[in-house]
Structure 1
Amino acid sequence: MLELNKVSFQEEVLESKGLVLVDYWSTKCEPCIELMPEIVRLSEKYQEKVKFCKLNILENRRLAIGQKVMGLPTIIMYKDGEKLWSLSSEFTAEDVEKQINNSL
């Protein structure tokens, strides 16, 4: 998974062609930490079809607010730089995988 920051977000997400999944997380978010191994597993499974990235909101608070991330964990799927869907707060890795498959 690619670790994003405010500089790389523009190029890797907003200017990217195809599907890009961004996992918005924080070191202080236990559900985020628990979910991360499952998101890594999904990134390995779908690596040919989806670019997987993560963004620590503690280090990139303004960027997260600009993307309307109001709670954690949050997953947002972008297609050709446009927000396609998002999941926030209470969801499972299965929910994420279902949404990924619906996007392919």
Structure 2
Amino acid sequence: MLHTDAAHFQHDVLDAEQPVLVDFWATWCGPCRSIAPHLETLATRFAGQAKVVKLDVDHHPELAARYGVRGLPTLIVFKGGKAVDQIVGNPGTAKPLEALIQRNL
């Protein structure tokens, strides 16, 4: 799974040819840490079809603000350089996260 920052967001996310699920998270966020293993699994499962990218909102608040992130974790799917779908909060299992990627392939 790729970790991105403000300097690489354009390349890693907006210019990507495949859909990108961005996990807007923070190190102090317990729900963010609890979904991390699910995201790792999905990054491997969808390799070549979609990317999973993490962005630490404490280090890049300008990106969180640009995409309206108000709660953590916020998971936004980008396709063709645009935000097209999202989940806010910990969905509890990997199934909603998998569905989020599947419906945006």
TM-score when normalising by structure 1: 0.94
Q: Note if 1:103 corresponds to 2:67.
A: no
* Cα deviation code 1:29-62 (max 9, x no counterpart): 0000010011000101011200111001111111
For residues 22-33 of structure 1, the aligned pairs below 5 Å read 22-33=22-33
Q: How many pairs are equivalent?
A: 104
Alpha-carbon offset, residue 18 of structure 1: 2.0
- Structure 2 gap segments, 5+ residues each: none
1:56-75 correspondence runs (5 A): 56-75=56-75
Report the aligned-residue RMSD: 1.0
Larger helix proportion of the pair: 1
In structure 1, distance between residues paired with 2:15 and 2:67: 15
What residue is the counterpart of 1:52 in the other structure?
52
* Other-structure match for 1:88: 88
Which ranges of 4 or more aligned residues in structure 1 deviate by more than 6 Å?
none
Contact preservation (8 Å) 2:2, 2:53: yes
With 92-101 and 27-36 compared, the bigger mean Cα shift is at: 92-101
Separation in structure 1 between the aligned mates of residue 36 and residue 19 of structure 2, nearest angstrom: 19
Stretch moving more, 93-102 or 29-38: 93-102
